[in-house]
A and B are shown apart, each in its own frame.
Chain A
Amino acid sequence: MQVGYFTERPYRWLPEEEILRNRGYFGVSNSFFDREKAADDYHYYLDEYCYAEDLGFDVVALNEHHGNPFCMGSVMNVEASVLAYRTKRVRIVLIGNPLPVIKHPLRMAEELAEIDLISRGRLVTGWVRGAGSEQFFNNANPAYNREMFNEAHDFIVQAWTRPGPWRYEGKHFHYRHVNPWALPFQKPHPPMWIPGVLSPETVQWCAEHRYPYIGLGTQLGPTCDLWDFYADVAAKNGYQAGPENFGYLIPTVLADSEEKAQKIADNFVYGGGQNAFSAPQFTMPPGYNSKGAIRMLAKQQTSTWLGVSGEKIRESMEEGDTGAVNYDEVRRKLRAGLQKVQQNLQVIAGTPTTVIPKIKSILSVLRPGIFIMFSIQGSVGNDDRRTSMRLFADDVMPVLKEHAKAIDLPDPFQRTPGSVKLTAGTSRGPVADRAPLAELGLK
């Protein structure tokens, strides 16, 4: 099993009330941006990723968001370039470049090839559709989001594998001279891992392409359902899915005492946390979600990644009064919500002693070949962040690795995703184990 480290690189100097007043991180005025502090933090976060390598993590994962203090990575390829040069061992995982938002797949192919070359083949390149708010920020037509995603992906793979020069006339992209000089170090191209929040179209696409799918802190029950869906599509495509096809990323924080861990964990709901990534009108722009996805999300009772949830759909339908806000009351509700998601094992907080059994349970249920720790959000100081990382790496990671070995969770480098052939007419094997869910009192 590959164990990874991920952080959103939160902007740590924004008063919480500004986020609450704005009903989300997206759209808070950049007049609050402090250049000096931000420069320090960019340095700190890059150092933190290097520290993750020193601690023994297998991979470091980056992402990007636009116009949003929730995540300072606006152009993650810049940070990936620095890490490609500074680090020596870790794989650099991008989860992922928002193809329809960037709208320039040839340039993307060149940038990523350079990063893979500089890192001498340590790049894992993932793709995303970009959050709803990013369609606004980049003026990317949400109704063409998936079409552009698919076309850009197909184009990039071609640009990396088909000798140039050649001409490309697609639907959304057009290039008269495709011949990128820099090609990726890895042949035929870097591996691709795709993160998601349960959109069935994305899962199907991943299974068809034999790309590992990484669930982003999604509820365990629905995640099992989607693993099954992936495995069904895989079976139709002639292979047995296994741990090498699945990854899971989850908010995790550790401290020397339970009390301190809980105090720090409050920062997962700073300003509303992921659910306040953007207000409803920016979360699901027109045309961005398919009918099927909207119906599926509407079924989810609790909030999920970046606030894409049934709750947001209901808010869109019945948007209420936005008058005076009692911030203390909002904070109280947020903290109460945090307890609930901890019970659901969607946020893990504690000392190594209490954290280990929880993550072991998750691994037993979801059987992922990739596990990624999502570091603390909010305005937590450097020391607490590093302590959390160190406790995880020193005390938790070795136990998880042993557990993964014991229950046989090969990662995508140990077993190539899609390499286990399934003869037509043979029924597929299970990919998740729901039995521990009942023991945990979860559905």
Chain B
Amino acid sequence: MNEPDAESASCVRVRESGSTKRETPLANFIEETVKAAGAEIALVRGGSGKPLLILHDELGYPGWMTWNEKLAQDRTLLIPQQPGYGNSPRIEWIMNYRDLGGFYSQVLREMKLEPIDVIGFSAGGFIAAEMAAADPAIFSHMVLVAPMGIKPAQGEIMDFFAVTVRRHLMATIADPANTPEYTKIYGGQMTPDRFEAFEEARAETARIGWEPFMHNPSLPHLLRGLKTPTLLVWGTRDQVVPRGCIDAYRAAITGAQVAEIEGAGHRPEIENTAEFDRAVRKFLAA
């Protein structure tokens, strides 16, 4: 396993922010700009230890939270902001999730990070699965949390484009009133800036995931025979990704384990952080 090499010829750190302005007592992390694969990507880096790649969901990187803090105690979290989200500029040639997976694979190769452990959330799970399908050796462990990417065996992925951003956000949590981190990040009145940021994230998701909607028909076929240890995490009250997606991934990846988080919705990492952390740690340690 290689440590991240930000000084290599192909990967130049061009900007590093200082300590963040967050009010929380959470650990230091930095946002830096990485130049790789012919592009510039904003990358959040925090913690120490063996690198762990985090691929955020279709609404973008929501900020450093308790689950990040817990995992960062003994892992270096690397959280790229997907091109077209937040501080990472859109890359026009990326027109679908397979393109995006190919792009991230190039980034990892140039940063000499492969093989690496990964956690992909929702559409981020889709990206991770595309990367693994194209290069079965790229990940040493793969955690897919409520992953999109394969047409569900039963049910449908919620059409979150056909609802307002507020409804989309609400649908990701089973019990918003009792999920403090949800309230902290998404609660209250939405400011025009925040609204715009969400709309930009949704626009980029639409651009690359509109049709077929958030899945790739060939993905399950290309995942066949994948040996990467895989954990599928799913909240039993997920309204966005149905259990049918988990079943479809299990059918595609022989030996994939499932961790169901009772009562959680589409964001088990903030809805039941303890259980999420326990399941992920146990799996990554194996």
Contacts and interface: CB of A to CB of B under 8 A. Distances in A.
Given A291-B196, A318-B189, A143 B206 contact: yes
Contacts of A298: 192
A139 B161 CA distance: 11
A319 B167 contact: yes
A142 B189 CA distance: 27
Contacts of A141: 206-207, 210-211
Contact of A317 (B161, B195, B210, B211): B195
B162 A142 contact: no
Nearest to B163: A281
With most chain A CB atoms within 10 A of its CB, the pick from B161, B165, B167, B205 is: B161
Contacts of A395: none
A244 B200 CA distance: 37
Contacts of A316: 164-166, 195
Interface string A248-287: 0000000000000000000000000000000011100111
B165 A142 contact: no
Contact of B167 (A144, A281, A282): A281
A406 B67 CA distance: 73
A: contact size bracket:
20 to 34
Highest count of chain A CB atoms <10 Å: which of B164, B203, B207 = B164
Interface string B125-169: 000000000000000000000000000000000000111111100
Given A142-B206, A318-B190, A294 B199 contact: yes
B243 interface: no
Interface in A286-316: 286-287, 291, 294, 298, 313, 315-316
Nearest to A286: B202
A294 B204 contact: no
Contact of B207 (A136, A287, A294, A315): A287
Contacts of B202: 286-287
Contacts of B195: 313, 316-317
Contacts of B196: 291, 294
A318 B166 CA distance: 7
Contacts of B167: 281, 319
Considering residues A139, A141, A286, which has the most beta carbons from chain B within 10 angstroms of its beta carbon? A286
Interface of A: 136, 139, 141-144, 280-282, 285-287, 291, 294, 298, 313, 315-319
9 contacts: A136-B161, A139-B210, A143-B210, A281-B164, A286-B161, A286-B199, A286-B206, A287-B204, A318-B166
